[in-house]
Amino acid sequence: MSLKTGHEYIASIEALELEANILGVKSADLTRHPLVKPSLQAVATTFDCAHSEENRPLFRVRSSLTGEEINRFNHLHQSTADLTSKVIMQRTCGNLTGCCFQRCVGMDAANATFSVTYECDRTHGTHYHQRFIDYWKRVQREDLVVDGAMTDPKGDRGKRPKEQADLDLYLRVVERKSEGVVVRGAKFHQTGLLNSHEVMVMPTVNLGPGEEDWAICFALPTNTPGLRFIYGRQASDTRKLEGSTLDVGNPTFGGQEVMLVFDDVFVPYERIFMNGELDQTGKLVERFAAYHRQSYGGCKVGVGDVLIGATALIARMNGVANASHVKDKIVEMIHLNETLFACGIACSAQGHPTPAGNYEVDRLLANVCKLNVTRFPYELARLATDIAGGLLGTMPSAQDLEDPVAGPYIKKYLAAAQGVDTVDRMKVLRLIENMVAGAGAVAYLIESMHGAGSPMAQRIMIARQSNLEGKIELARQLLGIH
Strands (E), 42-197: 60-62, 69-71, 146-149, 172-176, 180-191
How far apart, in Å, are the Cα atoms of 248 and each of 37, 86, 305, 437?
Answer: 13, 29, 19, 11
**Binding marks (x or -) toward its own copies, 348..387, rule CB under 8 A?**
xxx-------------xx--xx-xx-xx--xx-xx--xx-
Question: Please, what is the minimum distance in Å from the beta carbon of residue 259 to its own copies?
Answer: 6
Of 38-77, binders to its own copies (CB under 8 A) are: none
Q: Is 33 a catalytic residue?
A: no
Which residues pair with residue 147 across a beta bridge? Answer: 199
**Active site residue: 93, 292, 343, 347, which one?**
292
Q: Is the dihedral of CA 11, 16, 19, 22 positive or negative?
A: negative
| 445 contributes a contact to its own copies by CB under 8 A | yes
Q: Treating both helix axes as pointing N-terminal to C-terminal, what angle do 376-388 and 422-437 enclose, rounded to 10 degrees?
A: 150
| 30 contributes a contact to its own copies by CB under 8 A | no
Q: Which stretch binds its own copies (CB under 8 A): 200-208, 217-225, 288-296, 442-450?
A: 442-450
Q: Is 126 a catalytic residue?
A: no
Q: Which residues of 135-150 are buried (b: 16+ CB within 10 A; e: fewer)?
A: bbbebbbebbbbbbbb
Q: Which stretch binds its own copies (CB under 8 A): 54-62, 107-115, 213-221, 451-459?
A: 451-459
| 239 contributes a contact to its own copies by CB under 8 A | yes
Q: Is 325 a catalytic residue?
A: no
Give the nearer residue to its own copies in terms of CB position, either 142 or 156: 156
Q: Which one-letter amino acid corresponds to residue 191? A: T
Q: Is 292 a catalytic residue?
A: yes
| 466 contributes a contact to its own copies by CB under 8 A | yes
Q: Is 257 a catalytic residue?
A: yes
Q: Is 191 a catalytic residue?
A: yes
| 454 contributes a contact to its own copies by CB under 8 A | yes
**Active site residue: 119, 198, 211, 257, which one?**
257
Give the nearer residue to its own copies in terms of CB position, either 278 or 406: 406
Question: Please, what is the minimum distance in Å from the beta carbon of residue 187 to its own copies?
Answer: 9
Nearest to 20 by CA among 257, 348, 254, 294: 257
CB neighbourhood size of 267 (10 A): 23
Give the nearer residue to its own copies in terms of CB position, either 43 or 428: 428
- Maximum Cα–Cα distance across the chain: 83
Residues 6+ positions from 288 with CB-CB distance below 8 Å: 108, 109, 112, 113, 148, 150, 202
| 157 contributes a contact to its own copies by CB under 8 A | yes
How far apart, in Å, are the Cα atoms of 372 and each of 98, 169, 254, 376?
Answer: 20, 30, 24, 6
C-beta separation of 111 from 358 below 8 A: yes
Q: Is 447 a catalytic residue?
A: yes
| 393 contributes a contact to its own copies by CB under 8 A | yes
Q: Which of 7, 177, 325, 352 binds its own copies (CB under 8 A)?
A: 325
Give the nearer residue to its own copies in terms of CB position, either 133 or 395: 395
Q: Which stretch binds its own copies (CB under 8 A): 40-48, 89-97, 174-182, 202-210?
A: 89-97
Question: Please, what is the minimum distance in Å from the beta carbon of residue 81 to its own copies?
Answer: 9
**Active site residue: 93, 99, 100, 369, which one?**
100
Residues 6+ positions from 211 with CB-CB distance below 8 Å: 160, 161, 162, 278
Q: Is 296 a catalytic residue?
A: yes
**Active site residue: 80, 84, 126, 191, which one?**
191
Of 300-319, binders to its own copies (CB under 8 A) are: 305-306, 308-310, 312-313, 316, 318-319
Nearest to 57 by CA among 30, 81, 23: 81
Nearest to 337 by CA among 297, 386, 295, 309: 297
Of 179-218, binders to its own copies (CB under 8 A) are: 186, 188-189
CB neighbourhood size of 449 (10 A): 15
| 270 contributes a contact to its own copies by CB under 8 A | no
Q: Which residue numbers are catalytic?
A: 100, 104, 191, 257, 292, 296, 299, 447
